[in-house]
Structure 1
Amino acid sequence: MDFSWHYRFVTPSEEEKLLRRELLDLRGSYAQWSIIAVIIVLRVYQGWAKSVAEIDPKQRRGPTSWWDRPIVAGWLETRRQYALCGLWLLWLASLSVWNSGDDYMHLTKALGHVALSQIPLQVLMSPAAYISTSKPAASSIFSFVTSIPQATVTPYHRLFGRMVISPLLVGHATLYLSFFIQTSHPEFGSLLNKRVRDLDVQCGLFAISMVISLVFYVRPRGAVSKTGTQGRSTASSMQERRRSFYYGHLSLVALLCFAAYYHVLQAQKYMTQALGAFLVNGVFSWAVVRWGERK
């Protein structure tokens, strides 16, 4: 059985380049519209489940299932959350491979394009009120639209970044660097030595370093509650740690989006969407904290 690498370096014609660009844009549209489709299916399922529960109360959710327990004791995310994020990664990876033929660079660009198209969703799932002392679990836009509590959405927000967006972007960067290393250049020896001097590649390398930093930049875990002066001091210290994490995390995301914006023209649409999502989500969460959850 032949396990050789299917993709190869090709030199597309101008017409093929135009077709490749159209396919990349189409992938981004499919990736984003699939989010809308999932939300619609989810709302239909919620309506059905609610009607079933009203007819037969025995169908209401009982004890925590195997799927809703952590893979390892002490982990914050459940098997269900890992499974769903894994399925979404497979869908986006399949979308990247779709119609790429044996064109190495087309696949490489598709991985990055599809990954960036998901950043606005990642922002809409974020717990904007994380550092609020009164309602840290206030709803995000995604939580409000799907009627899923923010406490359930937040683990998906974490896993979505680590299991979906990061692998796609790392794959994109790895394939690009491999191409640069394997391609010779008459003046610089390899294309890598030449391209690292260019702003777009420098922005790309900076962006991927921000992605890796976000994967390992873990939020602080809650401390055991205590009473008295020591308890108040512990709570205050924890709040400071949460605030430091929030601003640090936000800074890394902002730097990632800024670098991606200047990395390639096609990323600018998604980064602009991400900025809009951040502003809308922040205002919405602030309103929830200020005036309370809608009923």
Structure 2
Amino acid sequence: MSFQWPYQFVTLSEEDKVQRRALLDLRGQYAQWSIIFAILIVKTMKTSTTFSSGNRPKRSSSIWDRPLFPGWAETRGQYLACGLWLSWLVALSVWNSGNDYLHLTKAIGQVGLSQLPLQVLMSPMAYISSKPTTSSVLSIVTGISQPMLTPYHRLFGRVVISPLLLAHAALYTLFFVQSSHPEFDTLLAKRVQDLDVQCGITAILTVVLLFLFARPRGTAQSGLQSWLMQGSLQERRRMFYFGHVSLVIFLCVVAYTHVQQAQRFIIQSLGASLLNGVCSWVILKFVEV
């Protein structure tokens, strides 16, 4: 049986467009409510495990606690968890999209941006302080230590959010290339002159830069990472932190300008960042000795 691409460029009435927008907004809400549901499950499982284990000795590490490849920082279990979450978000994007190509394209971008506040809440805000493992908001809520949570923060950006945003951009580009325009050869030639598309392209280039500006390691570096990250570990941490945060801020600015539907997710991310920063400051000043 041959595979046939089910999605097409369909023409919608104004009423259909309103219904599509309502479904897209609902999909974004489901994506964020599922975060709360997942946090409750993690919290319940951790509480149950702690209660049942008592003072029993810790079990030996399993195959899921090992790196996916030798030398990689994150474990197979962490990749599996992020991969499953990506699969759920893709399924949510496909849900009720029918054969509407643009519905699917917009849905992938919608659910991708909806995950930005969670990504911020996982971030180690005190990374360049004397205590870089100070708990984030999500660490406190779930009871997972920040050193265990930070790898998920890294993977979530690489395995979940970035692929969704890149897929959104790729699908839109294909649509523009294959669509004609009365005054230009293709719709792409027209749309690249518009601010919203220019901001979208800039946002995708920023995502690529976030990949290149890798997290510093305590071990020797090579290639572009060595050239960018020189000096002591503390200096590399500081360079990475300010570079990384600057790129994220720039990404949020261009995403906010790109499309109106992204604005509430960017505002939520800003609120999450402020909350995370205040939480880390309180812990550093009043809690930790």
TM-score between the two structures when normalised by the length of structure 2: 0.94
The answer to whether residue 184 in structure 2 is matched with residue 188 in structure 1 is: yes
Structure 1 position 88 matched with structure 2 position 85: yes
- Which consecutive unaligned segments of at least 5 residues does structure 1 have? 225-235
Q: CA deviation at 1:293?
A: 4.3
Find the residue that maps to 1:222 and give its secondary structure.
coil
Tell me which residue corresponds to 2:172.
176
* One-letter amino acid of the structure 1 residue matched with residue 110 of structure 2: H
Which of 70, 73, 91 is equivalent to 2:70? 73
**Does the 8 Å CA contact 1:85/1:156 hold for their aligned counterparts?**
yes
Deviation string 1:138-175 (CA, Å, 9 cap, x unpaired) is 00001010010000110000000000000000000000
Q: Shift of residue 42 of structure 1? A: 1.4
Picking from 75, 94, 97, the partner of 1:97 is: 94
In structure 2, distance between residues paired with 1:200 and 1:211: 17
**Alpha-carbon distance, 1:223 to partner:** 4.3
Displacement after TM superposition at 1:47 (Å): 2.0
The answer for the alignment partner of 2:223 in structure 1 is: none
8 Å CA contact retained: 1:119, 1:274: yes
In structure 1, the residue matched to 2:22 is: 22
* The one of 80, 104, 107 aligned to 2:104: 107
User: Which amino acid is the alignment partner of residue 180 of structure 2?
Assistant: S
Query: Are 1:118 and 2:119 counterparts?
Result: no
Equivalent residue, structure 2, for 1:49: 49
The secondary structure found in structure 2 opposite 1:184 is: coil
Tell me the residue number matched to 1:229: none
Change in 2 beyond 3 A, CA 1:178/1:67: same
Provide the C-alpha distance between the structure 1 equivalents of 2:266 and 2:84, rounded to a whole number of angstroms.
24
Aligned to 2:240: 245
Q: Does 1:280 align with 2:272?
A: no
Q: Which runs of 4+ in 1 moved over 4 A?
A: none
- 8 Å CA contact 1:85, 1:164 repeated in 2: yes
* Equivalence for 2:260: 265
How far 1:292 moved relative to its partner? 2.7
Q: What SS does the aligned partner of 2:233 have? A: helix
Give deviations 1:146-205, integer Å, cap 9, x for gaps.
Answer: 010000110000000000000000000000000000011111111000000000000000
Alignment partner, residue 195 of structure 2? 199
CA distance in 2, matches of 1:277, 1:117: 13
Paired residues in the alignment total: 280
1:132 is matched with which residue?
129
Q: How does 1:228-239 map to 2 (within 5 A)?
A: 237-239=232-234
Largest Rg, 1 or 2: 1
1:255 and 2:276 equivalent?
A: no
- Give the unaligned 5+ runs of structure 2: 221-230
- Aligned residue number for residue 37 of structure 1: 37
Paired residue type of 1:50: T
Q: Residue 7 of structure 2 corresponds to which residue in structure 1?
A: 7
Q: For the residues of structure 1 that align with 2:132 and 2:50, how far apart are their CA atoms? A: 27
| Residue identity in the other structure for 1:142 | L
Contact 1:223 1:238 in 2 (8 A): no
Equivalent position of 2:224 in the other structure: none
Residue 160 (structure 2) pairs with residue 160 (structure 1): no
CA distance, structure 2, for counterparts of residue 178 and residue 46 of structure 1: 44
